[in-house]
Amino acid sequence: MTELLTLSPHNPDPELIRQAADVIQRRGLVAFPTETVYGLGANALDEEAVAKIFHAKGRPSNDPLIVHVASLDDVKLVAAEIPPVVKKLAAAFWPGPLTLVLPKQAHVPASVTAGLDSVAVRVPSHPVALALIRASGVPIAAPSANRFGHTSPTTAQHVMDDLNGRIDMILDGGATSVGVESTVLDVTREPAMILRPGGVSREAIEKVIGAVDLRNNRPNSDDEAQVSPGLLGKHYTPNAELILCKGEKDSALEKLLGLAEQAQAQGRSVGLLLANEDMASFESSCIPYPLGASNDLEAITRNLYAGMRALDDQGVNLILTRDFGKQGLGLAIHDRLLRAASQII
Ligand code: TXA
Ligand code: MG
């Protein structure tokens, strides 16, 4: 049985937090809201508790976890060395959606870091997450609280849909505000390297510490017209087939319109994961999920995963979407859409 507790996102009830912290201390699993997506938490220093995370998610053990702590001061509980850039980055972005990869302390279980000698750490800003970490009194390892390979959850209901019966408790603190995962920045190298774009933009990081590298996560360059689906780093996928149309907005919409007509002629149900104003040109028989105004990247980011899940719930066969550039949060949107896509045109 999975217990569901509902809390105020701003002012979580200390008694409910205590109950959740008890579960963590007894080696259990608690899903909790962060500002990015819901996490599936366990005591990061307890090998047995951490093993349960991998089992509940069906996650392969070669994929390391992020450790969540309550303050910059507590980073030393898991990191052996704190390079000088960490202070600057923490002052600018913590608590918040930035994860830093640092040299690890020997006592951090190898299962947390997948055998690497580094550990990924962040201080989340969500009051429920912070309260849970503090009350538990230990660093909390937490991947996104979804079944492996599925879209990350941005509501407690999403977690329920994926993990009900497989974990001890879910804390419902409402929908998350950022909507995609944290930016993962490796500060063990010089210059630092973004391993995963996310809630803090590359531009914002570069304002604080100067130029950083960006890992090319694609087996093929993402500028190729067609990426072989078999080679895609499939990871954040809806159940429906998702086609991503890259390039300039007007020509992308025109191509998507053709695909929608073709699919509907074949009797397929078509969902649209697009900006509000993109919807106008499509047949009313398509199912729209308006992400927000096309110039409001925060809204588009916040609604992206929720949109994939909502369209899946409505049983569409095909989801059509487009790119929103690579500026600011656009880079994280681009990355997640590439991973979710069955086809890129
Ligand atoms: O926003 C987030 O980051 C959410 C919330 C719950 O905090 N968590 C999350 O965790 O997205 P997960 O497990 O889904 O993604 C963790 C990412 C993976 O891409 C993993 O490869 C990377 O962090 N990572 C973890 N430890 C690492 C390490 N030592 N070196 C390099 N990458 C690491
Ligand atoms: Mg994940």
> What are 101's strand-pairing partners?
120, 186
Q: Is the CB of 36 under 6 A from ligand 1?
A: yes
* Closest ligand to Cα 100: 1
Q: Rounded to the nearest whole angstrom, what is the distance from the C-alpha of residue 304 to the centroid of ligand 2? A: 15
What does the pLDDT read at residue 29?
Answer: 98
> What are 169's strand-pairing partners?
3, 30
Q: Is the CB of 119 under 6 A from ligand 1?
A: yes
Length of the chain: 345
Q: What is the pLDDT of residues 25-55, one digit of tens each?
A: 999 999 999 999 999 999 999 999 999 999 9
The three-class DSSP label of residue 141 is: strand
d(CA 264, CA 318): 10
Q: Is the CB of 301 under 6 A from ligand 1?
A: no
Least Cα distance to 107 among 72, 62, 77 occurs for 77
- Give the Cβ contact number of residue 240 at 10 Å: 23
- Select from 38, 54, 99, 155 the residue to mutate for testing ligand 1; criterion: most ligand atoms less than 8 Å from CB: 99
Q: Is the CB of 274 under 6 A from ligand 1?
A: no
Q: Which atom of ligand 1 is nearest to the CA of 63?
A: 21
Residue 292 pLDDT > 80: yes
Which has the higher per-residue pLDDT, 93 or 222? 93
Q: Is the CB of 63 under 6 A from ligand 1?
A: yes
pLDDT band for position 221 (cuts 50, 70, 90): very low
Contacts of residue 223, defined as CB under 8 A and 6 or more positions apart, other chains included, come to none
For 301-319, the DSSP string reads: HHHHHHHHHHHHHTT-SEE
d(CA 89, CA 185): 10
Q: Is the CB of 123 under 6 A from ligand 1?
A: no
Q: What is the pLDDT of residues 187-198, one digit of tens each?
A: 999 999 999 999
Q: Which atom of ligand 1 is nearest to the CA of 97?
A: 1
pLDDT band for position 61 (cuts 50, 70, 90): confident
Question: Which residue owns the Cα nearest ligand 1 atom 29?
Answer: 119
Q: What is the pLDDT of residues 222-281, one digit of tens each?
A: 433 333 333 445 567 888 999 999 999 999 999 999 999 999 999 999 999 999 999 998
Residue 138 pLDDT > 50: yes
Asked if residues 68 and 41 have their Cβ atoms less than 8 Å apart, the reply is yes
Q: Is the CB of 195 under 6 A from ligand 1?
A: yes
